[in-house]
Structures are given as structure tokens and as C-alpha cells.
Chain A
């Protein structure tokens, strides 16, 4: 039943190109705002449609493949929509739709300058994210990963003030260094294997790899993708990059960029090294240690942030490491939970960022200490915020519970009690840093809030929908998009090889 097969299809390529083609259209209609935004929305809908169209075949484990051009002798710039790729592409392209609507409300609400640049680079970022998702081999992955790095920069510095320019520098310093390590790792892998194609279960099968070499290679990879995945101590660019506009933080720093990092970690762990090699060489233990440390420390640091976006950033860092931890445990449930957490954390965190942005645009408040009574003024927004908080804490019926449950189950399968304890503690810490916000918003009375109303529907509607999505996916994880099935498919593909 689980035979992997391939067929040639241009759909993955179209999915990348559609937002790239929107860029010139966006630029040329920079004077007509509505037309310009029409291109963004149109591209995001078409992109999502294209990705959706890949689901039925992915569920049958049939993989769409297309190679575009040979970019190095023997290595193609090739795309492959395997279940894992489709899963990630689905998350990124689906949430881009909401972010597009939300962005319109946000940048217009703040009367930002350079909106055209903003929408153009957003589209490029999405193209490269889908490229990362569908990359069939390491070099293709590197190409899109680096483009994503560069295309995000103009969004980070969007406000063009001293703070964001400094954030941009820091962002580049971290990510470009990581890119270099990734290139080194890729080149090294190529010299060893002579083939860079991702393979479920690992690409080093049948190739002699000394433990030391494997360790060096693994650390290079970890440095390469670990920065975007913001594993501690490589995380500090992320809170700084919160200087970017909120939709950027929402999509890129909760969905596209950081998830490309964790996506890369999963790819490296399960598709480059493979669970068997990871386990034999004890490489997964390195990941467990880093991830466990990050989960706890980031949660603790989140506690003391007063700036709402910074608190969310630290929460993101901590939750990204849930995914890393789940992957590193290498048991079937843990991997399943980790992969589902990619999607589920995205829906919850994007909701929270949208809320933070709506509060900022509407009330110009950034700090948690100023949020007293906001829940009464903006009930929808803060309601959605409550849903996201509950979900991230891991309380049913929101989807965060589901993925966390599976990771916990996986920890037991892997006989790793410490991992389980870390998960439990982290749940408590999540409650500790989220619930006070809710308390302030709903149960304290605020000042100077008379006459304030909800933010523009452009912003409120997306965030309510994402919150509802989070609940729906919590009750029925396979809802519409088959996240559960796709994730299960990845697990059988990856682990089926060893058994």
C-alpha cells in the first residue's frame, strides 16, 4: 500500500512561479493600490489552489516531479512534491492568503510608505518558501533557502528606522553565516555521496561514513538550518527581527522563514542522514539536548518580556524546538507530532501575531503592561488571542493539544522520560506567559479606551478564521487538508525503510 512512485508534473514549478510572476505586476500597478493588492490576493489563491491539487496524489504516495535545469554537472534544479513537501507548502501558501488580506489592512491602516516594495518581496519570499518545500535535492534546497534569506531582508528593514536597520544587519549576519555553513555541508555531502537527492530514510545508505565525519557534517548542517530554526544559541536574530511590521513577523517569523529552518532540520535528520544513521551515531541525542534546552530557556525568557511581539518571538523559539525535539526522538508518534506541529503551531502563532498587530494598529500599544481591558474593546481579536494561547499551552480542543500529545506519546515510545518532563514543564510555562495577558485583557479595566472599536475587518476576519481553523484542526486534524494523513505518510515513508 505504501509504494512510493513518481510522475512528471509542472504543478510544483507553477506553484513557485505564480507569486514570482505577480511581482512585476505588483510593481507596475504600484499607483493603483486596489489593482496591486488584487495581484497579491490572486497569486496567493492560485498558489494555494495549485498546492491543494497536489494533495490527492500525495495521499496515494505519488510524487510530482519536475527538473528544470542542470545547475551543476549531475545536479538538477529539481522539484519534488513528496508528502512532506506538500504538507509544508500547504501551510505556507494557505496562510499567505490570510496574511495578504491582513497586510492590506495593516499597511493601509498605518499608511506605510513603500507598500509596493513590501508586497513584492512578500511574493518573492513565498516563492522561495514553496521552493524550499518542493526542493528535490540539497542544492536546490540551498538555492531557495538563500533566496529566502535575501528576500526577507527588505521586509525586516521595512520601517527603515535605526532599530530595524540594525535588526536587518543582525538578521543578515546570522542567516548568511548559516547559509555558508549549509553550502559547506552540501558540498561535503556531494563529495561523499555524489548524489544530493533527498531520500526518505537517508541518502548515506550503503556509503561508508566515519563517525567523526558524520558528526562534523551533522554539525555543519545544524549550524546551517539551525539559525532559521532559531535553536539556542543561534536564536537571537529572531526577537530582534520583530522590528519588522507585524504581518511580516506573522508569516515569515512564524510560518515561512523559521519553518523553513525546522523543515530543513527534519529534511536533514530524516531525509539526509535518516533515522537509522541518526540513531546509530547518537546524532539525535545532540538534537534532543539542544531542543530541550531551547524549549525551557526560551519559555523562561518569554516570561520576562513586556513587549508583546517579543514575548511571542520567544514563544516561537520554544515551539520550534518542539518540532526539533519530536524529530530527534525518532519514534513514529514523535515524528508524526513534530510534523503536525509545523502546521498547527503556524495556525496558532499566526493568529497571535495578527492579534498583536491589530492591537498595535488600532490602539498603538505594543507592551503587555498596557493591555488592561483591551478584551472589552476588541473582543474578537482578544477572543482569537485566547484560542491561540490555549492551543499553544496544549489544552484541548485546540490543535496544539493534538501535536503535543503525539510528541509526548513519542517520548514514551522512545523511552525518553526527560523529553516528556520537558514537554510538561514547557506547557506550564506557556500557561504562565500567556494567561496573564488574557487576564489583563479581560479582567482588568483599562484607561483611555473610550470610543475605541475593533480593528478593520481586513485584519479581524483573517485572525478569527485562523483561530477557528486552529480549533477545527484540534477537533478533526484531518479536516479538509489531510494534515494528519500527510504527516502519517511521511512517517511511514521515513521509518518504513528501516523496518
Chain B
């Protein structure tokens, strides 16, 4: 029975655990962490199982409660959704392992409600990815957004403001999306994606549909933080506690990208959105601007987390560009970059967290080579992730750049090709700036005044629960880079929608 219901199992397990944590862990706080571990580990295992099953038997449709769509809610496991699900859950598991010791050090976090919120957010993420129903997607979107506001607001002093800003933007995004769904429902009379897909070709000329699609795209655009709808992102990532930013940055925006991809290509149809409405062109151009803008802003930052946040704006652009290119290679690049960016950003934010644990800050200009002597492994992981961000082979970053470059050439979009290449150089600028500091800048006497810096340069790594996830992520970047073809051929090529 469990096997038959595996499609719906992940959100249910996560939701159930989220709700039961505050009750079970009421007396003993430590239980919360173990419950989280069990729930996320189970999600990872089921995600693996799902992906292999999908590859074996093809797309799986799961009808909730046995109700046949369009009346009932349907979950769809196809290569795209099972892949994104796997990425999210694996990253979440690693980041949460990392959180074990870190969470106790953040002063204003109560671990029990925090973990409950984390699981609620993951419920939302998985739900969005798995559902085949527009309204159900909205519900999960709101669940994860509300959880995210909470997770961000428990950070530093400015965090509540950042969270509030995100709340406003997120609520606007959600409303846009809901309005879009409403318009769509008026015309099609259905909320099921597959059902809408079969009806929509007859309504391609209807202005209502065009309005609906525009509203939905803006809604997703805010969630995805596509330029110029990214305003909420830098503050939110900067001021959120380590675990929150390491969870949200790699996965949160990808959910928006996924929803965008799903809606545009799998519901409205490739030809309609690209040739008739030119939405993909607009997306590609905005993304291209975002890529450059994000990189330049990242160069201008002093704090490492804020730099990483702006770099996220730029990296989301890669994904948007890949989608916007509207050809198979671009799509391969975009999906591979979803995975690549999830791994890199999780790794980088965790490293920033590890630095904060030891130094109390992650200000780039205050870093010096003492931190590398103290934390050689963390810094090595940072280096690998940075090289992947720049796109140096054989890391995964090189290959997502490679597919995206092939995609731009396929469309003869030379400007986008130039944008990709320039951006990787800008990435080199802001990452080598940090690498120079942590490897080459000797400790000066001013640095000694800082409370957490002792002069002895003995290795003093963070605890293994905080180190191992970072190392796994960085090694994964190299291994998955060399083996990327297995993923591309085995899974991603199967995602390419009809008509591309």
C-alpha cells in the first residue's frame, strides 16, 4: 500500500511530522531534531524510489482519495517533478544535519517551533512540485510562503523587516497567481493541469487566457525572484538565520522556477508561449539583465551572505534564461542548473554559517588567512563551490554553463551567449576576492582585537555535523559534474515537453 501511495507520501509525512513536533517535543527539545531527521530522510528515500519508478514505468498519476480528476486532486510524478523533488529533499536533509549544532548558537531561535516551520515549508515545496492541480498549487504556495516568512523573521535585528517585506511581496505574488487561476477557471472550467492542457488550445485567442497567463507568470516571477521582481530577496537572505538562508536560497526560488516551467510549457504549450505570446522572450531578456545586475551587485557587497544573495539573483537568471531560450538544450541547462545552483548555494551559505560560528561575522573585508588555517576543510569546500559558480571544469557549474551556451547558440542569440560568459567572469571577480582574503591576506594586528580570534592558528574546525554536509555538497559538485551525462540522458532529456 505504501508503495502504491508513494506519490503522495512525502507531503503527508512532512506535514504530519510538522504538526506533531510541537506536541511530541514539548518536554524534550532534542526530540524535534530527530523527528526532523526521520521525516526528511524518509522523504529522500521515497524521492529516490519515486524517481526510479518513474524512469521504469513512466509518468504516474495519483488520484487523491480515489476521486477522478478534474473533480479530485491529482498528483503527477513525471521525470521533472520527481527530479526537482529529489533535489529539494536531499538538500534539505543535508542542511538540516548541518543545523544540529548551529541552531543552538542562534540566540533567538526556539528549535521546536523552528523545526515545525521548516517541515511545513518543505511540505509546501514538495506539494507544489507534485501536484497536478492549479488551486492545490496555490494552497501549497501559501503554506510554504507563510513558513518562509517565519523562518526568515527569527534571524538578526533587521530580519523581521526583511521578512515583512517578503511577506508583502509574497502576498502580492500569491494574489497575482490566484487571480490568474481564477481567470483560467472562468474560461476552462477546470483546475486540473492536464485537463486545462487539453482544453486550452481552443482558447488560445481569448484575451482572458492571455490575462490569466500574464498574471500567473508575474506571480511565479516574484516567487522565483526574476529581475526586476527580486526586491525581497537580498534582505531576506542576508538577515535570515544560517539554516533558513541555506534552506531557502537553494530551494525556495527553484520552486518558482519549477512552477513557471510547468505552467508555461506543460499547460499552455511551448509554441503558444514562445511563438504567439513571446513570454519566453521577455523572460529570457529579463533574466539576462538579472544575470548581469546580480553579478555586479554581488561585487559591490561587503557581507558574504549578501554577496551570495545577489549572486542568487544572478543564478536564477541562468535558470530563467534557460527556460526562456525555449529549446531542449536551454531546458537541459536550466534544469541542470537548478540542481547545480541548489548544491552550490547550499554549500556556500553553510560555509558562511560556519564562518559566522567561528568569527561571529562573515564580512568579506575582515576575513584573513587565519580562518583558513583554523578551518581548512570548510574553506576548501568553499573553494570548490566557488569554482563551480565560476564554471571551471570539471565541476557541475561548467556543464550547466556549457548546455546553456549550446542553447543560446542554437537560437543564434549571441547577446545571451555573451551574457553567460561575462557573468562567469564577474563571478570570478567576486569569488576570487574572497579566496584571496582567506588564502593570502595575513592577519594584521587590528584583527586581534576581535573577540573570537585567537592568535594560535591551530586547526579548529566546526563540529562534524556542520562540516560533513558541506564536504558532501562540494564533492558532489565534482562527481556530478563528471557524471552529468547520466543525469542529462537518464532524466532531464525525458522532461523535454512536446513541441520543443
Contact = CB atoms under 8 A, between A and B. Distances in A.
A143 interface: yes
Contacts of A184: 405, 417, 421
B297 interface: no
A160 interface: yes
Nearest to B405: A187
Interface string B452-489: 00000000000000000000000000000011111011
A150 B397 CA distance: 15
Interface of B is mostly: helix
Interface stretch (B94-102, B144-152, B176-184, B385-393): B385-393
Interface stretch (B61-69, B240-248, B264-272, B424-432): B424-432
Contact of A160 (B392, B405, B440, B489): B440
A191 B410 contact: yes
Nearest to A140: B393
Nearest to B406: A187
Given A72-B484, A73-B489, A146-B393, A187 B425 contact: no
B398 A176 contact: no
Contacts of A181: 421
A77 B393 CA distance: 11
A71 B424 contact: no
Contacts of A180: 421-422, 424-425
B421 A172 contact: no
B432 A172 contact: yes
Interface string B394-418: 1000110111011001100000010
A184 B421 CA distance: 8
A183 interface: yes
A168 B439 CA distance: 13
A142 B406 CA distance: 15
A184 B489 CA distance: 23
A69 B483 contact: yes
B392 A146 contact: yes
A365 interface: no
A184 B412 CA distance: 12
A147 B421 contact: no
B104 interface: no
B406 to A, nearest CB: 5
B493 interface: yes
B381 to A, nearest CB: 16
Contact of B393 (A70, A143, A160): A143
Interface residues of A, number: 29
A164 B491 CA distance: 46
A140 to B, nearest CB: 9
Given A71-B484, A73-B493, A150 B387 contact: yes
B406 A191 contact: yes
B450 interface: no
A303 interface: no
A143 to B, nearest CB: 4
- Looking at chain A's contact residues, the main secondary structure is helix
Contact of B436 (A71, A77, A165, A191): A165
Contacts of B409: 187-188, 191
A73 B484 CA distance: 9
B440 A165 contact: yes
Contacts of B405: 183-184, 187
B429 to A, nearest CB: 9
Contacts, number: 73
A281 B140 CA distance: 60
A73 B485 contact: yes
A228 to B, nearest CB: 15
Contacts of B424: 176, 180
A72 B482 contact: no
A139 B425 CA distance: 19
Nearest to B387: A150
Interface residues of B, number: 32
A190 interface: yes
Contacts of A168: 436
A72 B493 contact: no
Contacts of A73: 485, 488-489, 493
Given A169-B432, A180-B425, A191-B406, A72 B392 contact: no
A177 interface: yes
Nearest to B393: A143
Interface string A149-190: 110000001001000010011001000110011011001101
Nearest to B394: A143
A176 B428 contact: yes
A160 B442 CA distance: 9
A410 B417 CA distance: 39
Contacts of B402: 72, 139, 183, 187
A172 B484 CA distance: 27
A147 B425 contact: no
Interface in A266-280: none
B401 A183 contact: yes
A172 B393 CA distance: 15
A168 B432 CA distance: 10
Among A70, A71, A77, A139, the one with the most B-chain Cβ atoms within 10 Å of its Cβ is A71
A71 B398 CA distance: 11
Contacts of B421: 180-181, 183-184
Contact of A77 (B403, B442, B482): B482
Contacts of B387: 150
Interface in B267-313: none
A369 B394 CA distance: 46
B485 A69 contact: yes
Nearest to A117: B439
A72 B485 contact: yes
Interface in A178-219: 180-181, 183-184, 187-188, 190-191
Nearest to B401: A183
A70 B417 CA distance: 24
A71 B399 contact: yes
Interface string B56-98: 0000000000000000000000000000000000000000000
14 contacts: A70-B486, A70-B489, A71-B394, A72-B485, A72-B488, A160-B440, A169-B432, A172-B428, A172-B432, A176-B428, A177-B425, A183-B401, A187-B405, A190-B406
Interface of A: 69-73, 77, 139, 142-143, 146-147, 149-150, 157, 160, 165, 168-169, 172, 176-177, 180-181, 183-184, 187-188, 190-191
Closest 3 CB pairs of A and B: A180-B421, A143-B393, A70-B485
Given A71-B394, A147-B393, A190-B406, 17 more contacts: A69-B482, A70-B486, A71-B399, A72-B484, A143-B393, A143-B398, A146-B392, A146-B393, A147-B394, A160-B440, A160-B442, A165-B440, A168-B436, A169-B432, A176-B428, A180-B424, A180-B425
